[in-house]
C-alpha cells in the first residue's frame, strides 16, 4: 500500500476539518498514541527485564497503527501528502548520512 492511499483511507474515519478544535485534537492524539507506545516499553523494561523476545509485537503494531492514523490525518489537515513527507524525510536522512552528521542533534545540520 502506498502512503497516500493509506492517507485517503484514514480520512474515511476522520472528523471534519471544521469540527471545533480538530487541529488540536489531532496533535494531542498523535502525542497521546506515541506516549502509549512509550508506556508499553516502560512496562517492558520494568516487568520483562528488557527481554526483546518478550515484546508484544502485535500490541505495539496496533499502537503504531494509531500513530500512523493520526500522522496521516494531521498531514491531510495541513494539506500535506504522506508520500511527499516520507520522500523528503529519506532524502534529508540520506544527505545527513553522506555528510556524516546523521548522529548529531538539531534539524538544520
Mean pLDDT by 10 residues, the chain (109 residues): 97 97 98 98 97 97 98 98 97 93 79
Residue 109 lies in a domain: no
pLDDT at residue number 102: 87
Domains held by the chain: number: 1
CATH of the domain at 19: 1.10.287.1080
pLDDT at residue number 104: 75
pLDDT at residue number 105: 78
Closest C-alpha among 2, 15, 20, 32 to residue 73: 15
Q: What is the dihedral of CA 18, 22, 23, 25, to 10 degrees?
A: 180
Residue spans of alpha helices (H) in the chain: 3-11, 22-48, 57-77, 82-99
pLDDT at residue number 90: 96
Determine the Cα–Cα distance for residues 108 and 101; give it in Å rounded to an integer: 10
Task: Give pTM, 2 decimals.
Answer: 0.92
Determine the Cα–Cα distance for residues 8 and 69; give it in Å rounded to an integer: 10
Instruction: Identify the domain containing residue 37 by its residue range.
Output: 3-99
Amino acid at each position: 500500500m502506498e502512503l497516500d492511499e493509506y492517507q485517503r483511507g484514514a480520512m474515511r474515519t476522520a472528523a471534519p476539518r471544521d469540527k471545533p478544535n480538530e487541529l488540536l485534537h489531532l496533535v494531542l492524539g498523535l502525542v497521546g498514541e506515541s506516549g502509549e507506545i512509550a508506556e508499553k516499553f516502560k512496562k517492558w523494561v520494568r516487568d520483562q527485564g528488557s527481554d526483546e523476545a518478550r515484546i508484544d509485537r502485535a500490541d505495539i503494531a496496533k499502537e503504531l497503527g494509531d500513530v500512523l492514523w493520526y500522522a496521516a490525518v494531521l498531514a491531510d489537515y495541513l494539506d500535506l501528502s504522506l508520500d511527499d513527507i516520507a520522500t523528503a524525510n529519506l532524502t534529508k536522512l540520506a544527505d545527513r548520512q553522506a555528510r556524516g552528521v546523521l548522529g548529531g542533534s538539531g534539524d538544520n545540520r
